[in-house]
A and B are shown apart, each in its own frame.
Chain A
């Protein structure tokens, strides 16, 4: 069975549902209408653009273009992580401590999955490499953004507690231990919930897509399990790296809490 093709009219019909939600948001004064509409518009434009890019990329499976695409994806994910925090670390550190964990965890795991587990020919075959990296990055991005936002916001809110511990001679790791744990939990809860609910509460998106495209259900399920494990590992590693790096950056060489290293909230 092949895919039932969708027309642009079908997509517009779906878009009216988002407009209805926006109308509801206005009626209830939720204050998220603008964000909702911009996000929906971005979904449409970005996905259509990426569709065009993938079409070209799939036609020319070149390692150079795939690497370039991957780096652009990391750059955009980094920007999203930075934008989603209320008090991100200022300057290059804020960007570096988002980009490096995302890059390290998702690239390492994507290459591991491509070379060792899936093993397509060539191993960087874009039909596998790009969607795989995209799923890992998308989830890791959310986890890193949630974790860093919780960490830096909590450091601001609980400054007195942290400094009370520092004043008693506690090292920074001890003064921050509760905050780091909380932040890691916040970062990892979505992926843990997704794994726990997979197949019972919801059919994961990738598996649904494969089934809709005619893949036998058991093959789709195996891919979905693989992807979910990779996502769990990638989000966990990225979030823990980002949280521990940012926590260290909140203290200077004398282990003083340096909230002046955070960007002023907008």
Chain B
């Protein structure tokens, strides 16, 4: 249940901290009857979603193009208007300013965008060397021109750029769409390591069912405009679509 008042939110956040200490399951993101309103109330492809994502979890969402996966991520990231409620670490979204919320809810779009010529200009603090090397970069990549990077390189750097905020949940919109298999595996490993070391979580839109099998703790599929859980014990876990 999402708290209705700021006071309740703080109480739940405090309780959440206690439960981390005693090792219980901690909810990072909780959305309730949540839907994008980017296009107003007409033509909403995905009906309202209620979902809890817990610490340490990687949750995937699959579904055909245009079914509303990206709109859902954008709405959770508070880049588009939405209806319903959203809470992070037990605190209602209204308790955060827009920028504060987006620093904690890191959204990485399918196509990364860059606003300055030099890669380094896009990082508030340089990413750790280990993270750079995990994705196949050396430290001098920060001095390179964005225009000289391949799409795949930009995509990997966009992930690192987002991790610089130490988000509590990372929303990944097909982050490996333009990567080769080896780099895809490296990126998956980096995300896994980040989730484990920061006790955070990931909501990952992916089309590749093998990837889903590798990374997902829980999986959902959009069918008929509704988000359905996929049971790991069912053959559908691997074979659907």
Interface residues of A (CB under 8 A from B): 158, 160-161, 163-171, 178, 252-257
Partner of B115, one of A178, A253, A255: A178
Per-residue CB proximity of B88-100 to A under 8 Å, as 1/0?
Answer: 0000000001111
Chain B: interface residue total (CB-CB under 8 A)? 26
Q: Are A167 and B107 in contact (CB under 8 A)?
A: yes
Closest Cβ of chain A to B82, distance in Å, is: 10
Q: Are B109 and A254 in contact (CB under 8 A)?
A: no
List the B side residues contacting A166 at CB < 8 Å.
79, 98-99, 102
Partner of A256, one of B81, B103, B114, B165: B81
If the complex has contacts A161-B114, A164-B115, are A255 and B98 also in contact, measured as CB distance less than 8 A?
A: yes
Q: Does B153 contact A (CB under 8 A)?
A: no
Given contacts A168-B102, A178-B115, 18 further A-B contacts (CB under 8 A): A160-B111, A160-B113, A161-B113, A164-B113, A165-B115, A167-B79, A167-B106, A167-B107, A167-B109, A168-B103, A168-B106, A169-B102, A170-B99, A171-B99, A253-B98, A254-B98, A255-B99, A257-B79
- Within B93-130, which residues are at the interface with A (CB < 8 Å)? 97-103, 106-109, 111-115
List the A side residues contacting B164 at CB < 8 Å.
168
Nearest to A160 among chain B residues (CB) is B113
Q: Does B202 contact A (CB under 8 A)?
A: no
Q: Does B77 contact A (CB under 8 A)?
A: yes
If the complex has contacts A170-B99, A254-B78, A254-B98, are A163 and B113 also in contact, measured as CB distance less than 8 A?
A: yes
List the A side residues contacting B208 at CB < 8 Å.
none
Residue with the highest number of chain B CB atoms closer than 10 Å, among A158, A165, A169: A169
Q: In the bound complex, how far is the Cα of B162 from the Cα of A178, in angstroms?
A: 21
Q: Are B97 and A255 in contact (CB under 8 A)?
A: yes
Q: Are A160 and B109 in contact (CB under 8 A)?
A: yes
A-B pairs, top 9 by smallest CB distance, nearest first, are: A169-B103, A160-B113, A255-B98, A164-B113, A254-B98, A161-B115, A167-B107, A169-B99, A161-B113
Nearest to A163 among chain B residues (CB) is B79
Q: Does B161 contact A (CB under 8 A)?
A: yes
Closest Cβ of chain A to B233, distance in Å, is: 36
Q: Are A169 and B100 in contact (CB under 8 A)?
A: yes
Q: In the bound complex, how far is the Cα of B103 from the Cα of A65, in angstroms?
A: 56
List the A side residues contacting B101 at CB < 8 Å.
254
List the A side residues contacting B80 at CB < 8 Å.
256
Sampled A-B contacts (13; CB under 8 Å): A160-B113, A164-B112, A164-B158, A166-B98, A167-B77, A167-B109, A168-B164, A169-B103, A254-B97, A255-B97, A255-B98, A255-B99, A256-B79
Q: In the bound complex, how far is the Cα of B98 from the Cα of A252, in angstroms?
A: 10
List the B side residues contacting A257 at CB < 8 Å.
79
Q: Are B113 and A168 in contact (CB under 8 A)?
A: no
List the B side residues contacting A163 at CB < 8 Å.
79, 109, 113
- Within B2-33, which residues are at the interface with A (CB < 8 Å)? none
Nearest to A171 among chain B residues (CB) is B99
Closest Cβ of chain A to B45, distance in Å, is: 17
Nearest to B77 among chain A residues (CB) is A167
Nearest to A174 among chain B residues (CB) is B99
Nearest to A179 among chain B residues (CB) is B115
Q: In the bound complex, how far is the Cα of B164 from the Cα of A254, in angstroms?
A: 22
List the B side residues contacting A171 at CB < 8 Å.
99
List the A side residues contacting B114 at CB < 8 Å.
161, 164
Residue with the highest number of chain A CB atoms closer than 10 Å, among B78, B97, B100, B113: B113
List the A side residues contacting B81 at CB < 8 Å.
252, 256
Per-residue CB proximity of B146-174 to A under 8 Å, as 1/0?
Answer: 00000000000010011011000000000
Q: In the bound complex, how far is the Cα of B111 from the Cα of A161, in angstroms?
A: 10
List the B side residues contacting A165 at CB < 8 Å.
115
Q: Are A168 and B98 in contact (CB under 8 A)?
A: no
Nearest to A164 among chain B residues (CB) is B113
List the B side residues contacting A255 at CB < 8 Å.
97-99
Q: In the bound complex, how far is the Cα of B113 from the Cα of A255, in angstroms?
A: 18
Per-residue CB proximity of B69-86 to A under 8 Å, as 1/0?
Answer: 000000001111100000
Q: In the bound complex, how far is the Cα of B38 from the Cα of A257, in angstroms?
A: 11
Residue with the highest number of chain A CB atoms closer than 10 Å, among B77, B98, B103: B98
